[in-house]
């Protein structure tokens, strides 16, 4: 029930953990969302920090809006 973002690099560039294995988390956590950083491998947060930060910011904004809507009482 906790918002989760699963982030990988491109499958052909990530040689540390196969992207297919990382995507298995989506089956374990049904509310998880997936994002991939293009032109990056396993360390996209280091090699493409702006793209990584943008993914995280958009995810946080969306979760924040969803959370705010759930807190409103319609009467």
Q: What is the pLDDT of residues 11-55, one digit of tens each?
A: 999 999 999 999 999 999 988 999 999 999 999 999 999 999 999
Task: Give 29's contacts (C-beta < 8 A, 6+ positions apart).
Answer: 4, 6
> What is the rounded CA–CA span in Å between residue 49 and residue 2?
24
For residue 71, pLDDT beyond 60: no
> What is the rounded CA–CA span in Å between residue 66 and residue 31?
13
Check: pTM over 0.85? Answer yes or no: no
**What are the phi and psi torsion angles at 6 (to 5°)?**
-100, 120
Q: How confident is the model at residue 68 (pLDDT cuts 50, 70, 90)?
A: low
What are the angstrom distances between the C-alpha of 74 and each of 18, 35, 64, 68? 45, 33, 18, 13
């Amino acid at each position: 029930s906790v918002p989760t973002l699963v982030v990988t690099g491109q499958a052909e560039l990530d040689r540390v953990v196969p992207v297919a294995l990382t995507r298995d988390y989506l089956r374990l956590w049904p509310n998880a969302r997936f994002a991939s950083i293009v032109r990056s491998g396993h360390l996209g947060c280091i090699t493409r920090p702006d793209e990584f930060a943008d993914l995280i910011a958009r995810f946080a904004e969306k979760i924040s809006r969803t959370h705010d809507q759930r807190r409103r009482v319609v009467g």
